[in-house]
Each structure stands twice: as C-alpha cells, then as structure tokens.
Amino acid sequence: MRNSILLVLLAGAALAQHKDVPFANGIPVAPQGLANRPLPKLPMEFDTGEGQRIRVVAVTNELQYPFSAAFLPDGAMLVTERTGHLRIIRNGVLDPKPVVGGPECFYAGQSGLPGAVHGYMDVALHPHFAENHFIYLTYTKPIDAKRRVAALARAVWDGHALTGTRDIFVADGSGPARIVFGRDNTIYMTVSGSRPDDAQNPDTDGGKVLRLRDDGTIPKDNPFAGQTGHKPEVFTLGHRNSLGLALRPGTDEIWQNENGPNGGDEINVLKPGANYGWPIVSLGRTYQGPWQSERPRHDGYEPPVVYWMPAIAVSGMTFYTGDKLPKWKGDLFVGSLRTGEIPGTGHIERILFNEKMEELRRESLLTELRQRIRDVRQGPDGYLYVLTDANPGAVLRIEPAQ
C-alpha cells in the first residue's frame, strides 16, 4: 500500500513538473543554462573518432551573424552577414569595411527567435567565374511595409566591389534561401515554407527547392514546366525549412537538408518532381510533444537518407574532398545550431557512408565550443571552414594537429 501511494505521489510530482514548463507562442521556452557561451580561447585540439587529431583555429571573430561563405580564385573568402553586409577576408585578415554594391535587404535582428533568418543569406560563385566574374547572393527583399520575400541577385565582382547588381529571381515566399550550382550550371535554390500550406501547394515557391538557369529564367526541362497550377521553377516540394544544399562530388545528385520541428531533421537526395512529405509526414514530433504525423513514416513520399531524432537544427552542409584531413575524405559535414531544443549545444556532424551512400556512422564534432554552427565549407587549401551564428561571429578553420 505504501509503495502504491509513493508511486502515485511520484507520478503526480512528475506530471506537475511537466505542466509547469513555460510556453511562448505555443512553443516550450528553451532553458538557458548552456546558452550564450563565448567562444573559448583558440586554438584548441581535439581527438576524433577516426583517429584523426584536429586543431581548430579562429580566422576572425569580428563578424555579425555570418551565414555563408565562398572562396575567390585568389584564396580570399567572401562571407555574408545577416545584417545585410558582404565581408571579405584576405590572407587571414578581415577587411574592416563591408564590400559595397550589394542589394538593399530587410533585417529584423534576432527578434528573440534564434531560428529567424533575414538579411543576406547565401553566396556562390558562378562555375565559370574566371570568365564572367558573376557572384550570386540570396537575401530578404522588402516588398512593402509588411511583406518580405526571398530573392536571388547576381552581380559582377571587380576585385573590390559588386557592380551591376540586379535581381534575377524573386520568390513568392520568404525565409532562408540556400543555393548551389548543379553540374549543368543550373541553380538550385531553397525557399522555406512561410505559410503552413505552402509546402504541398505546387503553385507557390514556399517549402520548395527551385531550379533556375544562371540568368534566373526557368529551364524548359523542369518537372512542372507547362503544367497548369504549378510554378514552373519548382523542382521538388514538401520541404520545411531548408538550410543546406550540396552537390555530391562526381555525380549530378543535389543533396538537401531541412529542419523538422522537435525532431525529424532530414537529408534528402533530390529527384525531379518528387514530394518529400512535409507537413503530411515527418519523423519528428511537434514542439508541443505529439508526433507531427500519426504514422511517423514516409509511405507514399520520398524518404530521407539521414534523419535526426531529436533535432540538431541542421544548417550548412558540404562533402569533404580534400587531402589535408585524409581520414574524412568523402564524408558529409553538416552544421548544427542546437540539439534537442537546448541552446548552447551546436556542433558539426560528420557522416560516413558506404559505397552505396548508406549511412554507416556519424560523429559529433566541436561540441565543446558550444556554438551555433551556421555553415561549413571546404576551402581551396583543403581545410574545413566553419561559421558560428553569433555576434561576434567567427570563422574557424579545422586543420590537422601537428
């Protein structure tokens, strides 16, 4: 009898604890015990799962919420800031003045929402940059006092500034927008679903991956081109918030990642016209706790090749093809903004695949830094470069420990 009473009391206490979890706008308020930690003193060295000891160096720690990076042929590094600036790092030194000539954007600040993304986002060089000097930027374009959308701009790099900048595509949706060039020089562009019904509506850009020519026009061989009630630029649909795109080396495959709610982050291989299920199916839970879908499976929709439960808030993504970190060659690296809805748990995930691109194992890296990781890129020097989503934000370099 006493044991039964004790169990009832314990259950009641647990239930009361769960009832006391604070909510804001229908989402549990995240605990702050690990949040807002400054970047530790660098360099630091770490052992890794494959027996490869690494050294992490800070290239700069003077950026404001960096989002993405691209490398110029001379080794200089262009970095976008969500505040609406494009910065350049030459010979390891950040130019104190932003690059001029970029598009005017909308930036609302953090607004108390760690996932909110406005301002400048992705940056990429044209595959034939040596001949045409084209640079591409995605950014938040203000339409009027209330509407903001994702836009793709193209400019010419003159060695110091952007010139001739103009929009070549303006989406009808907002939110984060990543871009990557395919092997045929077409542009793949993500547009997050700003409205709940966007992802399954083929006549909107939200919740989609788009495919464009390098001048922003629509390829005639897009899967929905010429179909009534379908946006011709849409390549795939059924996506949530997509923050990573990568071309798998040696193939035509475009790999895409997207954030689930509380779980169900995914990596997908994009197929023309395919539907990836959001919000009808998901391998994650809602922020309130219940499963997003009654059956957390992907029956009838394209399944992911990798997924996370709990969510790690996936961000930038790249395949490593260099020789400086040989035990990681061929592996996929994915940024993480936080794990399991706990701030201060950002890191990098390294995923190893077999010859059929089936996942064998994954490893969490740089967890000790407790930083939100916004992007990870391979540099022309064969090292990995990491951007932290903070103010001040850093560019970190991962190199082999000597």
Residue 129: pLDDT above 60? yes
Residue 130: pLDDT above 70? yes
Instruction: At 323, list the tokens.
Output: 């020789």
Instruction: At 317, list the tokens.
Output: 């993504």
What is the C-alpha separation between 158 and 166, in angstroms, rounded? 15
User: pLDDT band at residue 111, thresholds of 50, 70 and 90?
Assistant: very low
User: pLDDT band at residue 295, thresholds of 50, 70 and 90?
Assistant: confident
What's the average model confidence in pLDDT over 2-10?
54
| Domains of the chain, earliest start first | 44-400 (2.120.10.30)
What's the average model confidence in pLDDT over 298-313?
94
List, for residues 334-379, the tens digit of each pLDDT value: 999 999 989 999 999 999 999 999 999 999 999 999 999 999 999 9
List, for residues 22-39, the tens digit of each pLDDT value: 888 888 888 888 888 999
DSSP class of 275: B
Residue 268: pLDDT above 80? yes
Task: Identify the burial level of 16 via C-beta atoms within 10 angstroms of its C-beta, where 0-12 means exposed, 13-18 middle and 19 or more buried.
Answer: exposed
- Report field, pTM of the whole predicted structure over 0.95: no
Residue 3: pLDDT above 80? no
What is the C-alpha separation between 99 and 79, in angstroms, rounded? 10
Q: Tell me the average pLDDT of the chain.
A: 92
Helices (H) and strands (E) in the chain, counts: 2, 27
Task: State the pLDDT at residue 285.
Answer: 86
Helices (H), 20-174: 129-132
Residue 202: pLDDT above 70? yes
List, for residues 132-158, the tens digit of each pLDDT value: 999 999 999 998 888 889 999 999 999
For residues 243 and 195, the model is more confident at 243
User: pLDDT band at residue 113, thresholds of 50, 70 and 90?
Assistant: very low
Whether 165 contacts 145, CB under 8 Å: no
List, for residues 240-253, the tens digit of each pLDDT value: 999 999 999 999 99
List, for residues 56-90, the tens digit of each pLDDT value: 999 999 999 999 999 999 999 999 999 999 999 99
Whether 228 contacts 254, CB under 8 Å: no
